Structure 1
Amino acid sequence: MKKVLLVCFCFVLIYQASAQDLDSDIVQDTTYWDSGLSFGLNFNQASFSGNWKAGGVNSVAFGSLLTGNANYAKDKWTWDNQLEMIFGVVKNEGQELRKSNDRIFFDSKVGYKISDKWNYFGSLNFITQFADGFDYGPDEPTLISSFFAPAFLMTGFGAEYKPNDEFALRIAPISPRLTFVNNLTIADNVPENYGVPIGSKIRTEWLAAQVFMTYNKAITENFAINTRYQLFANYETLAFNTIDHRLDITVIAKITEFVDVTLTSINVYDIDMDPGIQYSQALALGILYKVSNKK
């Protein structure tokens, strides 16, 4: 716990140093803020009569999506914040309720412009999930994850290349990471325990580097793609197969003002979780409501 507090304290110092140059307008004047909030719900249902010859399983599925951003820019200073929360469940006939999607992501970055395309930055991002995750084998479901098991808290200090509003690349040669597994029983079912030593709830990787890339593009007025890629490398265990990769892709196609089709995909390689590549994909049709103060 002391290590967690130390990392958080170091990050707070960075923000406080930045705040000395960010005047009171950051709180009192919203002129320099661009913010937005999106909330989506989707519902899917299928039912079949007992004599339906084409076959099928009665099912009900529900999903929710909440994303928000609040970005400040004045003179050479920027402060970008992003929150993303996704959760979905599905109920097939003859089975208990199961998750179909689950993600919590938060990212905050303070930047200082040194040229038209380059910034110094300090950042913090956090990833975990809402609910328990299970491996559904032939016997009883096996608990393999839960809230804060795992959770990843990562800081980064370095330089950012941002040639336009669509693309950004952060290179952080200094990027400590904390990995949490607050449920000690997870190790009984996941021998790797997400890299956390057995019997402990936290692993600290002080000597590490991070690459963080985003590309958000509105292809047309009704079609957009948002991508996020993260690379994490621990200097102490550096090898080709120990470098972590994560790619998140969200594609949104607007049908009407409030109805959208959303495709989400997560692709992960982390040897501390599994020696193979993990991926998940979800396609949803539902209501998406957006509010924004963007000019």
Structure 2
Amino acid sequence: MLFLSFSAFSQDAKVDTSQLNGLREYPKKNVLPVRRPVLQIQPVQIPDSKLNLKVNYWRNWVSFGVNMNQASFSNNWKGGGVNSIAIGTTFNYKTDYTKDDINYVSEVILQYGKIKNKGQLQRKSSDRIYWDNKLGLKLSPSWNFFGSLNFESQFDRGFSYKTVNGVEEATTISRFMSPGYLTESLGFEYKPNKFFWLRIGTGTARQTFVLDRDLYKAFPKNYGVDTGKVFRNELAFQLVGSYERDVMENLTLKTRYTMFANYEKLRSIDQRLDLTLIAKVNRLVNVTVTGVALYDDDADVRIQASQTLALGLVYRFPN
């Protein structure tokens, strides 16, 4: 009965599908118009007084370092050795002002260190005061006209040592401002890049000071100053060159060369070469190797040389 009724319904019923045809059509594209916005950019003038902008033409770098070394041996240590302790400090400050064609650079280097070996008098491992100032006027991309003022001396007394009847004696041969050097120079500077520069000082004057009037008794050369006087002036030609660059990651090379040729005795030219290699272990720990070669016949007829190796803490700002 149910089956027959369903079959009858499916055969007799007619469904009007004409009303569904419109639903099958897709809407036409771009029915609604789209208007593109018109952008208008207009400059707005803002007075400088309202911006409150300031340009800082100064750049500064500061670093401070300290290193220590200590060694001790028992009385029955068969390898040999001597108990010792050493400490060294360094302070570097550099400032640079550059605006338009004017450049001013000032650099301060302070170094002092001592070492004490058992059974010996204490000795200095480093002692230097160095202050360099340069004002330059740009002439071309690589050349400047410059004027410079440089001062150099030491903090503490320096000694020569000898042993008399088994007792070590120290004799003073230098101290602060004995000697001290003040150098003024005018000339041209060649600076092709930020790593290297060379100053050619065609007009250079240097004053040598020995304020200790009795120093000649222990050191007859008296650093070129006549006996009984405290001052000597020289006119000379000078070359000063510097190269500083990161030769590889965490490894920096610094070199500085100075040549001073007195116009009165060009056969005797004072020269100094400073070389520093800095290996950065981490943000605070550095390994530093320094070497100095110096020739000045007013101090010694032979080349003077020094070398140090230090592991210590160094803090830089900005870091």
What range is the shorter-chain TM-score in?
Answer: 0.7 to 0.9
Give the C-alpha shift of residue 203 in structure 1. Answer: 0.3
CA distance in 2, matches of 1:288, 1:30: 30
Among all aligned residue pairs of Structure 1 and Structure 2, give the percentage whose two residues are the same amino acid. 48
1:7 paired residue number: none
CA distance in 1, matches of 2:269, 2:264: 11
Answering whether residue 127 of structure 2 is matched by residue 102 of structure 1, we say yes
> Kindly tell me: are residues 210 and 96 of structure 1, through their superposed partners in 2, closer, same or farther at Cα, counting changes over 3 Å?
same
1:188 paired residue number: 217
- TM normalised by structure 2 equals 0.80
Q: Which deviations, in whole Å up to 9, do the C-alpha atoms of 1:36-80 show, x marking residues without a partner?
A: 000000011001111111111011000000001001111100000
Answering whether residue 255 of structure 2 is matched by residue 227 of structure 1, we say yes
Answering whether residue 294 of structure 2 is matched by residue 265 of structure 1, we say no
Give the C-alpha shift of residue 292 in structure 1. Answer: 2.4
Q: Which deviations, in whole Å up to 9, do the C-alpha atoms of 1:179-227 show, x marking residues without a partner?
A: 011111211121111011111011011x311111001111123110111
1:11 paired residue number: none
| Residue type at the aligned position of 2:157 | D
Answering whether residue 144 of structure 2 is matched by residue 115 of structure 1, we say no
CA distance in 1, matches of 2:241, 2:151: 15
1:9 paired residue number: none
Question: How many positions carry a matched residue from both structures?
Answer: 262
CA distance in 2, matches of 1:152, 1:267: 18
2:98 paired residue number: 73
Q: Which deviations, in whole Å up to 9, do the C-alpha atoms of 1:74-107 show, x marking residues without a partner?
A: 1100000111011100111112221111111110
Give the C-alpha shift of residue 30 in structure 1. Answer: 6.3
More helix by share: 1
Q: Which deviations, in whole Å up to 9, do the C-alpha atoms of 1:134-176 show, x marking residues without a partner?
A: 0112232111111111111101100000000110000011000
User: Which one scores higher on RCO, CA 8 angstroms, separation ≥ 6?
Assistant: 1
CA distance in 1, matches of 2:84, 2:204: 44
Gaps of 5+ in 1: 1-28
Backbone CA RMSD of aligned residues: 1.2
CA distance in 1, matches of 2:55, 2:220: 49
Gaps of 5+ in 2: 1-53
Aligned pair partner of 2:274 in 236, 248, 251: 248
- The secondary structure found in structure 1 opposite 2:162 is coil
Moved over 3 A (4+): none
2:186 paired residue number: 157
- TM normalised by structure 1 equals 0.87
CA distance in 2, matches of 1:251, 1:87: 18
- The secondary structure found in structure 1 opposite 2:80 is coil
CA distance in 1, matches of 2:247, 2:59: 21
2:177 paired residue number: 148
- The secondary structure found in structure 1 opposite 2:217 is helix
CA distance in 2, matches of 1:77, 1:98: 44
Aligned pair partner of 2:238 in 200, 205, 210: 210
